[in-house]
């Protein structure tokens, strides 16, 4: 973990300067059609592979102390195409378990549950916000122990929830952070406070 030392009115403090780079996996057939995808292990589409490969040049100038990936094929393949085939699998980075809503779009769910969102409504036989927060807090604790920048390959809702917890917000505040496939987002610090440096950059 990098620190900068500051002196203010005779008090010396240290502030974190590390950054967390977030990459959502490339496009799959289900992400393209808006179907909720957690445990279903889908490959990238041809377009998903093409865009994921373009991440390699975009990350070429960065140095990472740790590179993590969800165990799902779509995340691991994105990491490989981006130039990080040795990314370490972290089971806590799997997507939100959608339970009975796996493979179903939000529009379809709202036919029986008007206004439904994963952030505000129950997911039958799936995960709760508290369960998501617990495992993503473990990821953030792991990142905090690393003396430098970290790169993570994962999924939409899980990475949005991870961002909320990085910002010291309730996990459900992840609803504010739209995240497209194969984009680069960077979290870090500003005067000692957790902050978003870049978001959803294509």
Active site residues: 25, 95
CA 53 to CA 80: how far, in whole Å?
8
Distance CA(53)–CA(134), nearest Å, equals 32
Q: Is 92 helix (H, G, I), strand (E, B) or coil?
A: helix
* H-state helical runs in 59-177: 73-81, 106-109, 129-144, 156-166
Query: In Å, how far are 59, 108, 118, 161 from 115, measured between CA atoms?
Result: 38, 11, 10, 20
Exposed (0-12), middle (13-18) or buried (19+): which is 186, by Cβ within 10 Å?
A: middle
Is 163 exposed, middle or buried, given 0-12, 13-18 or 19+ CB atoms closer than 10 A? buried
Which residues touch 97 (CB under 8 Å, ≥6 apart)? 38, 39, 123, 126, 127
């Amino acid at each position: 973990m990098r620190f900068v030392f500051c002196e203010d009115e005779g008090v010396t403090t240290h502030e974190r300067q590390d950054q967390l780079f977030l990459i959502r996996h490339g496009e799959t057939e289900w992400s393209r059609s808006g179907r909720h995808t957690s445990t279903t292990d889908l490959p990238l589409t041809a377009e998903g592979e093409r865009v994921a490969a373009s991440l390699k040049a975009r990350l070429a100038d960065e140095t990472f102390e740790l590179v993590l990936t969800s165990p799902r094929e779509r995340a691991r393949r994105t990491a490989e195409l981006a130039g990080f085939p040795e990314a370490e699998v972290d089971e806590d980075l799997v997507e939100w378990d959608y339970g009975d809503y796996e493979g179903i779009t939000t529009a379809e769910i709202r036919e029986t549950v008007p206004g439904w969102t994963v952030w505000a409504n129950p997911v039958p036989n799936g995960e709760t916000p508290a369960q998501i927060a617990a495992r993503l807090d473990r990821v953030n604790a792991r990142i905090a122990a690393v003396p430098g920048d970290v790169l993570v390959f994962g999924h939409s809702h899980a990475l949005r929830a991870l961002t909320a917890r990085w910002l010291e917000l309730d996990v459900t505040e992840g609803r504010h952070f739209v995240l497209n496939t194969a984009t680069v987002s960077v979290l870090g610090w500003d005067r000692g406070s957790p902050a978003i440096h870049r978001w959803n950059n294509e």
